[in-house]
Structure 1
């Protein structure tokens, strides 16, 4: 379960050459990466009608989605470069080495990769790596037995109807505490179990077929286990909070003593569950007390054989992609094709590279950062961040809907923002993870158990604010409200987010808007509920909060009115935080760019576009992309980010600066002043 909210977006790496010790002829300057590729434009489209199509139409036409992907855009291209070129080079270089000492990061990386690409051994082993766990589950006779097994499985990232995790206490953010939360739905979100449209009904039908197929391969004895599991999960989903409700940090914070948890769900042996994980908690933050009561009643009324089947499925479904080809193929058909629209799997080498990165990402990240992100690059990003901080302060001062007392608190929070750039200042010790070249499933289990143990070891201790929630090679960024920090991994400081050869307008529309996006998360509908110290504490006057809620509700309603596929609209409340951050990030970046011209002559047009127009082209370039319908349906039901197209055409109509730049009046991309939403 996700304890510390990490709201994500992306940025990449700046390469700086080392100084030479001997005099050499000047190096040939590398070819410039185009700041904005004019061939991306579809000039047949009016930018005031559909800016995404105008800016990116030809790019989308000339860059169809590869069969191995559910979508293809700037993030995917850069992620492929980082993972399938740079990280791949690191891994394959290590694999060529021999006699690597046991427990070293190079040995772990090499042997994990070898275990993934050794399909002969994987085929021979079949489902046998899971057999001891199937036996353990099959031996369950009572609910107490089941609770203990659930606790043991959670060590391997397999949660059933609820899960535990340790993170900063939302009301005392300097100390770690234990959290409980709902879990256990194969489809991830309750709407998949409730919607009656044909596409969602088909997903459920395919899920039943896939479970039946995988269960048959694993020699489960039950008849039609897929329907039994779907029926159980449908009942469970009925009690769970929807993803919009999960965004309310106040309602979902219910600090209790452990005795109350036992009272709320008395049928479950909580002592056995925690003991299996080496936990002896006295306090815990409960997510939803009503869910605990309802799920407990469901468990009590469910035959033990059904609970055992459900648990075996959770285990099998978690590891199916790591088993022999029949399991892997069946798993991909559902989760890759049905849910995401992918037509084919990546090749085994590429999957091995990505799997190694997924499970040993930080050891790899250390090597990635050393090779691709020199210390000197941090200073450049730091300067960008401080520029955004300055403009944000100016925007706060100009707000007409916020009182002076709340503005003072907003300035305090803004001044308290900290940031991390590139990679961790200190690296954890992974040497105790036992990785072997012929035991893929056990290798994954070893990494997951290490992570679980590492997480639980923080309980009752001060928060280590040097911890990172992403690896350095990740094409993303995030804001952590509990630390009041923004984090920018090395993986995203590259074109199209940042291009040292581009003019300022393109960079401000890219990397500066991304930085502004993350800053704005500290003041979105969720982040604004945390104070300067990262505590869940109201720092608003009642009237200011009412004004803010009115603005954000209007913005949520606007996005909820956007239909992306027949019958599938954006969920404005689910995506409110990200949409608010986009609007704020664009505003901050635009005025940071404008400030940078003070005392100077404004730049002349480039390729026929003014600096104002190029700023918006820069943002559009970041979000150009294509997406499968299956992936799009999944995104609008489960993802707090709006689809990429709507991250362009969505916020622009609310920016008068956009309408002025492109001379838009009475058009789809230019709302009337009374309809525009201006928050920060």
Structure 2
């Protein structure tokens, strides 16, 4: 499950703050992008590399040499290139067209998109206002006299998304997936994960030193008079980090599901004024689901024993940091320096217009998505992807039947879950109406707050109500896909259904190695270490025999140990336990896609060679080109510590040695790096 932040943020997938109204006034015309893209660029290959020693280098070596990371990025790969095209070309065209129109009707998606975009570009007003848009919140923080005041103000700050030590979210109840419930989770670490406060290597120590200097500079820029704010905040967050679960522990859906009455929460962590905290947010719930009882009790005690002045300094920091990229240039630039340069290795900010496009997408994602889908995702593509999904479902059923480590009784339940999978393709069938959000030119911070207020109220209204299974967790233009175990559904936005993932002009082998493997990946999430704990109805319920579960975890633990040995940088190894869900999904997705391709070719003539490669080889070329990427050292370190996905290179080279089909396709002799002995291979699904 995803970590929890402010109330308006769901627990499984990032949802845009806004959705669509009507788009009758848009000048954009419907129709698919007909630009043809090569199925596979042979020029990407480094022919000096041996595919059986380093498949990533063989397939992508020349691409990586010729595509250095742009100075504005920390990672540059297939996802980033397509995301840039979606946002800085396609969405840009939509937004600029709307921005040219005058007297747009208040509350329409056109007016909201146009005025938000223009408010981000209005740097004259932003510089003139300084931090005055934050003053109402600063006054509340400055006026805190006791812990009850602090709890009330912290709750009020949650509404626009400013973090504190804990946060609430609304999502389907994991043990009653038809009804929404209120969840609680840990929060408040500016560096994102507790390992940043604990590791003693020089790179991580440098991040902490830079963090202190960054806070000191930001406070000076804002005119705050707190003494040694950087040291104060690092010391407090270090204490808070010691109380928190690791990102591996957070992966356990059983241990982090603790349904509790609100009255018992108040008894459990009585050092914190929960009534003040929840009432100021408008939260009313008799029960809620706690992530970690010990954390709440200990964190409440930490707040009680921490000087009030320290907590006020921390709250000022959280407020300033949350809005920093929307404030005057010196504050914005320093925020970029630390979080983008120090933490991830990006060297310079994107141009203001490009940032305005992305900020508008981040806040107006669904209205933009409605127009994007109409223009760039033809209805015919839904049918194609639907057929692909059913193909994968069929092959998955055959794979389940062939398993030797699973009993017939558990196979029966696995088939039931597989048959119950639902899917969403491209874009929502119904669009929400956010016309009451007040977006105006020249009021950037207020526009952000208005959107947050609306989403906060929407979340409040869901508590205790039936789940709307038509709701989407990603915008249509997002270059990604997801599996939601609570709905037992796979979701494929239009944004990812483009080359190199899905290419209507490509041969089947390339598409099976791309989009079919992506589909298989998401299907397999329903049967990874987390998803496998949810039943066909999306409830957290065991459907395994004890022996079968032991067999599954035995295979998973072998795969964890395998990835644990991969050193990405000196002293930084992949965390196999953190990445196991994604690694299982990659292995499963590749396996399903390969056998789906093989099944589709039965009874047909052998496909002709293309660029000298047979269909088996091109399948793996298709997989590798999806993951080609260059990444900064800082971004790699950050990914290893915080991200449940393995680095791109290891999503290529990591699973392939476990597929005998890969070794056969490339004639890899025993003992080569990309070939494992049968006894060492992990085959799960």
TM over 0.5: yes
Residue in structure 1 matching 2:12, options 5, 26, 43? 5
Cα distance in structure 1, aligned partners of 2:88 and 2:139:
38
Contact persistence 1:7–1:478 (CA under 8 A): no
Cα distance in structure 2, aligned partners of 1:524 and 1:361:
30
Moved more, 393-402 or 453-462: 453-462
Matches within 5 A, 1:264-413: 264-413=268-417
Q: Which residue of 2 aligns with 1:525?
A: 529
Q: Which residue of 1 aligns with 2:682?
A: 677
Would the alpha carbon gap of residues 158 and 601 (structure 1) be closer, same or farther in structure 2, given more than 3 Å must change? same
Contact persistence 1:210–1:226 (CA under 8 A): yes
Count the aligned residue pairs. Answer: 665
* Deviation readout 1:140-185 (Å, 9 max, x if unpaired): 0010001011111111111200011111000000000110100000
Unaligned runs of 5+ in 2: 16-27
Matches within 5 A, 1:18-29: none
Cα distance in structure 2, aligned partners of 1:157 and 1:376:
39
Pairwise CA RMSD of aligned residues? Answer: 1.5
Residue in structure 1 matching 2:250, options 246, 250, 254? 246
Contact persistence 2:30–2:375 (CA under 8 A): no
Cα distance in structure 2, aligned partners of 1:39 and 1:370:
34
Contact persistence 1:4–1:168 (CA under 8 A): no
Contact persistence 1:7–1:479 (CA under 8 A): no
Would the alpha carbon gap of residues 17 and 214 (structure 1) be closer, same or farther in structure 2, given more than 3 Å must change? closer
Question: When the two structures are superposed, what TM-score results if normalisation uses the length of structure 1?
Answer: 0.96
Residue in structure 2 matching 1:467, options 448, 471, 483? 471
Would the alpha carbon gap of residues 253 and 627 (structure 1) be closer, same or farther in structure 2, given more than 3 Å must change? same
Q: CA offset at residue 374 of structure 1?
A: 2.2
Q: CA offset at residue 604 of structure 1?
A: 1.9
Q: CA offset at residue 280 of structure 1?
A: 1.7
* Deviation readout 1:9-59 (Å, 9 max, x if unpaired): xxxxxx99869xxxxxxxxx9674211111100010110000000000000
Question: When the two structures are superposed, what TM-score results if normalisation uses the length of structure 2?
Answer: 0.96
Would the alpha carbon gap of residues 18 and 153 (structure 1) be closer, same or farther in structure 2, given more than 3 Å must change? closer
Q: Which residue of 2 aligns with 1:26?
A: none
Runs of 4+ in structure 1 over 3 Å off: 15-19, 29-32
Would the alpha carbon gap of residues 464 and 196 (structure 1) be closer, same or farther in structure 2, given more than 3 Å must change? same
Cα distance in structure 2, aligned partners of 1:503 and 1:359:
38
Cα distance in structure 2, aligned partners of 1:254 and 1:31:
51
Cα distance in structure 2, aligned partners of 1:121 and 1:432:
24
Cα distance in structure 1, aligned partners of 2:479 and 2:34:
23
SS in 1 for 2:398: helix
Cα distance in structure 2, aligned partners of 1:35 and 1:106:
36
State whether structure 2 residue 40 is matched by structure 1 residue 36.
yes
Q: CA offset at residue 223 of structure 1?
A: 1.4
State whether structure 2 residue 515 is matched by structure 1 residue 508.
no
Q: Which residue of 2 aligns with 1:452?
A: 456
Residue in structure 1 matching 2:222, options 214, 218, 237? 218
Contact persistence 1:338–1:630 (CA under 8 A): yes
* Deviation readout 1:166-225 (Å, 9 max, x if unpaired): 110000000001101000000010000000000000000101111001111112111110
* Deviation readout 1:255-288 (Å, 9 max, x if unpaired): 0100111011112111111111111211010110
Q: Which residue of 2 aligns with 1:174?
A: 178
Moved more, 262-271 or 516-525: 262-271
Matches within 5 A, 1:486-565: 486-565=490-569
Q: CA offset at residue 545 of structure 1?
A: 0.1
Residue in structure 2 matching 1:605, options 603, 609, 615? 609
Q: Which residue of 1 aligns with 2:23?
A: none
